[in-house]
């Protein structure tokens, strides 16, 4: 088993990469002088992966929406007790999450990290589902879905996504619907588990006060070798154009909240990361509190400090989202379109561009001194199909012309959806 050292030439940071004999990929970042440890055991399996097949299958399998999230909930329980009870004995703080493109199980601790690592590798590799426990969980997750449907911040996002995406499952709530989870049974959970929780589709990341040799000793003891089943996921064809330009809904809110989503062509791997970082700098140059647009919107009392921007991307989807609170979201949209078109014609303010790029770079440097952020960045790189320090490489090589070109190509003001909760 070969240990490969991955080095960041910009910062001097480094981590160890191991392709374990079991098929699992392992990233270990030894952070000398730190007292805490963060570990994540993740699979490339999220809410969007509803259609898949393996090398042995003739046809694609389609499963109910929300099953990845449902499986995450059920995996914490085994025949004897749940994993949280085991973590309580080691003192670790444990959690899990399912997003659009991944499911991760994690813990953080300041001592006994090897004992906690054994728990993590143990319960994730040992599923236990019965129809009785599945039926019980359907009621629990059904309540969770209903609560999310009453959450204005959640609804404004998914209303926007449904206004943008015709067929891609990113427009479906991560937890699914009450109707879709009613179709889940124990047999289906085992099928999805055996497909996506194959170690060839997974990664282990551990950072902080750790030793590579000790981590690998636990890995050798507990990882169960498995064959590569040649997993293939697929998405329905998605047109470039949005579904509709406006979505409104009434919910109890003190002030209307809005999401403005610009739908872009999807990318993958390094190209997606490069576009992500360029759009991030460009979007912040438009929405930053020091930018002309922000000052204008504040002066006219059209926004408050909640106004912001994010890049939203993954397998088969890429969008730019401006969000906030406003008594006149349509006027905010009008000013935003004028600002973007003005920047396309005349260019971003170079001083503002340099300021945003430097502050973004500084943020990445600060994250390299945060155990949780280091682990999170390592797992995100794996899930995105890039190398651990590519993010800082892209940013250090970024030019003004790159960002200006991205604004012209990807900030398409004719392909956007305004979502408002009134």
Distance CA 189, CA 63 (A): 10
Q: What's the predicted TM-score (pTM) here? A: 0.95
When computed from its CA atoms, the radius of gyration of the chain, rounded to whole angstroms, is 22
- Residue 145: C-alpha distances to residues 180, 306, 414 (Å): 11, 25, 33
pLDDT band at residue 1 using 50, 70 and 90 as cut-offs: confident
Catalytic residue among 72, 278, 313, 339: 72
Which domains can be identified in the chain, with CATH numbers?
Answer: 3-233 (3.30.830.10), 246-421 (3.30.830.10)
- Read off the tokens for 81: 């007790």
**175-179: long-range contacts at Cβ-Cβ below 8 A with a sequence spacing of 24 or more?**
175/47, 175/66, 175/69, 175/70, 175/141, 175/144, 175/145, 175/148, 176/47, 176/64, 176/65, 176/66, 176/67, 176/69, 176/70, 176/141, 176/145, 177/65, 177/66, 177/145, 178/142, 178/145, 178/146
pLDDT at 152 over 90: yes
pLDDT reported for residue 149:
87
Backbone angles phi, psi at 320, to 5 degrees: -115, 130
Mean pLDDT, to the nearest integer, of 388-404?
A: 97
- Give the 3-state secondary structure of residue 175: coil
Cβ atoms of 89 and 35 closer than 8 Å: no
pLDDT at 288 over 90: yes
pLDDT reported for residue 316:
96
Cβ atoms of 169 and 50 closer than 8 Å: yes
144: exposed, middle or buried (C-beta count within 10 Å: 0-12, 13-18, 19+)? middle
pLDDT reported for residue 246:
98
Give the angle subtended at the CA of 14 by the CAs of 10 and 17, to the nearest 5°. Answer: 130
Q: Over pLDDT 90: what percentage of the chain?
A: 95
With CA atoms as reference, report the closest residue to 70 among 195, 198, 177. Answer: 177
- Read off the tokens for 106: 């994690």
Identify the bridge partners of residue 310 per DSSP, sorted by sequence position.
Answer: 321
Distance CA 310, CA 366 (A): 20
Backbone angles phi, psi at 319, to 5 degrees: -145, 155
Mean pLDDT, to the nearest integer, of 137-158?
A: 93
Helices (H), 30-112: 67-75, 83-90
Mean pLDDT, to the nearest integer, of 24-47?
A: 97
Angle between helix 329-346 and helix 400-410 axes, rounded to 10 deg: 130
Mean pLDDT, to the nearest integer, of 102-131?
A: 96
Quick: pLDDT tens for 67-98.
999 999 999 987 777 899 999 999 999 999 99
Helices (H), 76-130: 83-90, 113-124
Highest mean pLDDT among 56-60, 133-137, 316-320: 316-320
* Length of the chain in terms of residues written: 422
Query: How far is Cα of residue 9 from the mean position of the Cα atoms in its chain?
Result: 26
With CA atoms as reference, report the closest residue to 352 among 281, 300, 251. Answer: 281
- Phi-psi region for residue 326, left (φ > 0), alpha (ψ -120 to 50) or beta? beta
Query: 54 Cβ partners below 8 Å, 6+ apart?
Result: 195, 229, 230, 231, 232
Catalytic annotation present for 72 = yes
Residue 246, H or E segment: strand 246-249
Q: Parallel, antiparallel, or unpaired for β 37-43 and 93-98?
A: unpaired
pLDDT reported for residue 188:
96
Q: Report the 10 Å Cβ neighbour count for 229.
A: 18
Buried b (16+ CB within 10 A) or exposed e, 286-324: bbbeebebbeebeeeebbeeebbbbbbbbbbbbbbbbbb
First to last CA, the chain: 58
Distance CA 38, CA 95 (A): 11
């Amino acid at each position: 088993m070969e240990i490969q050292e991955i080095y960041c030439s910009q910062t001097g940071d480094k981590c160890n990469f191991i392709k374990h004999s079991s098929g699992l990929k392992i990233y270990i970042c030894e952070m000398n002088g730190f007292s805490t440890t963060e570990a994540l055991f993740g699979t490339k399996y999220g809410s969007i992966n509803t259609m898949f097949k393996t090398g042995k299958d003739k046809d694609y399998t389609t499963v109910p929406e929300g099953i990845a999230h449902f499986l995450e909930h059920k995996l914490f329980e085994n025949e004897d007790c749940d994993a949280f009870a085991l973590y309580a004995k080691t003192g670790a703080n444990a959690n899990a999450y399912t997003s659009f493109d991944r499911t991760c199980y994690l813990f953080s601790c300041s001592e006994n990290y090897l004992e906690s690592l054994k728990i993590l590798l143990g319960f994730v590799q040992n599923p236990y589902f019965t129809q009785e426990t599945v039926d019980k969980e359907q009621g629990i997750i059904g309540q969770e879905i209903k609560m999310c449907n009453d959450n204005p911040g959640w609804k404004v996002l998914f209303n926007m996504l449904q206004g943008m995406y015709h067929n891609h499952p990113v427009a479906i709530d991560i937890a699914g619907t009450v109707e879709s989870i009613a179709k889940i049974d124990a047999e289906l959970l085992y099928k999805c588990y055996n497909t996506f929780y194959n170690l060839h589709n997974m990664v282990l990341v551990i950072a902080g006060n750790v030793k590579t040799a000790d981590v690998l000793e636990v890995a050798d003891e507990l990882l169960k070798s498995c064959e590569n089943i040649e997993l293939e996921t697929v998405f329905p064809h998605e047109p470039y154009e949005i579904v509709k330009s406006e979505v409104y809904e009434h919910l109890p809110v003190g002030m209307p909240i809005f999401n403005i989503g610009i739908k872009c062509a999807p990318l993958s791997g390094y190209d997606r990361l490069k576009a992500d970082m360029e759009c991030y700098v460009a979007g912040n140059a438009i929405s930053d509190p020091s930018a002309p647009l922000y000052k204008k919107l504040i002066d006219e009392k059209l926004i408050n400090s909640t106004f912001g921007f994010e890049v939203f991307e993954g397998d088969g989807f890429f969008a730019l989202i401006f969000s906030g609170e406003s008594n006149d979201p349509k006027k905010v949209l009008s000013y935003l379109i004028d600002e973007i078109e003005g920047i396309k014609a005349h260019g971003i303010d170079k001083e503002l561009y340099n300021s945003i790029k430097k502050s973004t770079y500084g943020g990445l440097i600060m994250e390299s001194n945060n155990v949780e952020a280091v682990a999170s960045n390592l797992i995100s790189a794996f899930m995105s199909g890039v190398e651990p320090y590519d993010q800082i490489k892209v940013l250090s090589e970024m030019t003004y012309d790159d960002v200006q070109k991205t604004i012209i190509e990807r900030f398409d003001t004719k392909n956007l959806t305004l979502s408002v909760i009134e």
